[in-house]
Structure 1
């Protein structure tokens, strides 16, 4: 019986060694496969170390991003201001021409020529449209100015440099 137990114990040790060898081989193959996969990534070939960018380069990148936003807001604000100025001038001209067609007499509208009435109606429509657009532009300019203020308060280190340019 003692020989049987010894034989059985030896068989168990052989099975254990075989199983351990298979697992060990699997682990080695897995490690090799992972290493090979990382070599496929171009950045992994630089010694497998993570490197962050220089802080000065990060600051330049951030400043460029904020600068592009400031430039876009400033361009929109200037375009709205230019449109507002031009429309205001044209609206004043239309108001002056409309005043001429109205006349100065209190009962002039009674015997006004039909073409003057049509012109007066056209001026009224154009004046209303121009005043509506001026209000829209004023609202937009307020929004753009608000965006500039928000940006200046949220990212003052970048907007101060852009404002000096």
Structure 2
């Protein structure tokens, strides 16, 4: 049967209203008001901590804790030379500044810290500005005739 305006219906349970508790027997939720009989959950003011399992040792305390999280860790967005080489071939780019990574879709946001890795080959001379370079990346960029510039104005040489 084809769907048209004459036989459209809302999905099941799309039009159910809010559960109105404590409104007498006619509501279908009378007497105990969906709280059941006796017990902690039936009392007023009852609230249990997250993960409470009725006195049983909670799961988050039963599982072993290992290692630690370094709060001073610095996350870099890593970019391989293959991606830069592909973009250079497609768009004819000769220079990549820090503002360009977001525009080119290489980084998630403008403030991302960028590290260039040396996977792949670079054939065109490109001046690349980033926060970090791997040794192989700096070597390959220089070999292709480009410059590896660390954000802040320092040019990285392969010897460093």
Task: Decide: shared fold, TM above 0.5.
Answer: no
> Rg larger in 1 or in 2?
1
Name the one with the larger strand percent.
2
TM range (shorter): under 0.3
Name the one with the larger helix percent.
1
**TM-score, with structure 1 as normaliser:** 0.22
Q: RCO (CA 8 Å, sep 6+): is it higher in 1 or 2?
A: 1
